[in-house]
Structure 1
Amino acid sequence: MSEITVRALTEDEWETYRTLRLEALQESPEAFVADHDTEAAEPEEFWRARMERSVRLVAETEGEQVGVVSIGSVSEDKGETAGQLFGLWVNPQWRGRSVAANLVRQGARIAADQGLRHLYYWVGSDNGRAVAFASSFGFRPTDDRRPMRVAGVDGEAEEEIALVMALGEDRA
């Protein structure tokens, strides 16, 4: 099995992030709020600003970039010690080969190193696979729900659930 490495991208690697993000939007449009064509038209300044707002992690193996995830602040009032994992995407050819697991583990390490005590992850409440995946890392469901910002496959509005994971030594 190929070794998977995960590293944080620098601001100067905005083009790498842009490439992965656009690939994700094209391959899995239903998983993201954004639109591929809209983001593809954005200038360099847009992408550099994104790099400053959150930590962007890339998974690499066999000389290619195969996955991405972001660690950022929580938009809701969860306190200064909470962060958010978002934008998780793995190239379909690499799914089921621990790429996502490596991205989540490294994201949790970085969040803990930043002094965060909790990491939130929003998933579709009907997405049992994503809920099970997140639960395997210690994410637990909360009472927080929100309408998904994209319609479901059948065109009906779905709901997202906030999962939270405690970071650090006291994982209670």
Structure 2
Amino acid sequence: MGDVRTMTVGPDDWRSWQEIRLRSLREDPDAFGSTHEREAAFPEQTWRSRLDGAHGPSVLAYAGEEVVGIGAGWCHEPGRLMVVAMWTEPDRRGQGVGRRVLGHVVGWARERDLRVELWVADGNPGARRLYERYGFRADGRTEPIRDGADATMSHLVLPGQ
């Protein structure tokens, strides 16, 4: 984990963000509310606008020059930040990459006194363990991961804010 660093990225980093985001959607399609097909069709401007920082941080994790993790926060309503797009390269899982990215996003939210929450796919026990070890707790809410999907997701909140 010592060789991994995280950084908030902006619109000029859109190609790096796009590459790992599309890879995450392709490799773990049941972990996300969006789809590879949907986001692969986004034009450059959509990717850039998602990284403009207006609604929260976009974070990449690097091991040397290689991008090995991704995550973001989205201020979807006043006083609240939703953690989204969390993913770690499969060969880096279990090495603290996700915790570093999550810590970066949560730190950003705490600096702004925001309540942090997220949705996790019920079929993704590794991600759920990461969030629960960090301190997130389920609040009992569940819903389909996408319209028409059988897979579900659970809502978790970070207490103490």
TM-score by length of 2: 0.87
Aligned-residue CA RMSD in angstroms?
2.0
**Structural mapping, 1:61-140, within 5 Å:** 61-74=63-76, 80-116=78-114, 118-140=115-137
In the alignment, the residues of structure 1 paired with residue 157 and residue 41 of structure 2 have an alpha-carbon distance, to the nearest angstrom, of 34
Deviates more, 1:36-45 or 1:81-90: 36-45
Q: Does 1:30 align with 2:30?
A: yes
Runs of 4+ in 1 over 4 A off after TM superposition: none
1:126 CA displacement: 4.8
Tell me if the contact between 1:145 and 1:161 (Cα under 8 Å) persists in the aligned partners. yes
In the alignment, the residues of structure 1 paired with residue 40 and residue 151 of structure 2 have an alpha-carbon distance, to the nearest angstrom, of 26
Residues 148 and 36 of structure 1: is their aligned pair in 2 closer, same or farther, counting only changes over 3 Å? closer
Aligned residue type for 1:136: R
Higher radius of gyration, 1 or 2: 1
In the alignment, the residues of structure 1 paired with residue 126 and residue 88 of structure 2 have an alpha-carbon distance, to the nearest angstrom, of 14
Aligned residue type for 1:105: G
1:150 CA displacement: 6.6
Corresponding pairs, count: 159
In the alignment, the residues of structure 1 paired with residue 147 and residue 101 of structure 2 have an alpha-carbon distance, to the nearest angstrom, of 24
Aligned residue type for 2:4: I
1:144 CA displacement: 2.3
Residues 108 and 90 of structure 1: is their aligned pair in 2 closer, same or farther, counting only changes over 3 Å? same
Q: Which sections of structure 2, spanning at least 5 residues, go unmatched?
A: none
1:109 CA displacement: 0.4
In the alignment, the residues of structure 2 paired with residue 45 and residue 62 of structure 1 have an alpha-carbon distance, to the nearest angstrom, of 28
Tell me if the contact between 2:83 and 2:116 (Cα under 8 Å) persists in the aligned partners. yes
In the alignment, the residues of structure 1 paired with residue 3 and residue 158 of structure 2 have an alpha-carbon distance, to the nearest angstrom, of 26
Tell me if the contact between 1:4 and 1:60 (Cα under 8 Å) persists in the aligned partners. yes
Q: Does 1:47 align with 2:40?
A: no
Partner SS for 1:149: coil
Residues 101 and 92 of structure 1: is their aligned pair in 2 closer, same or farther, counting only changes over 3 Å? same
Residue identity over aligned pairs, in percent, reads: 26
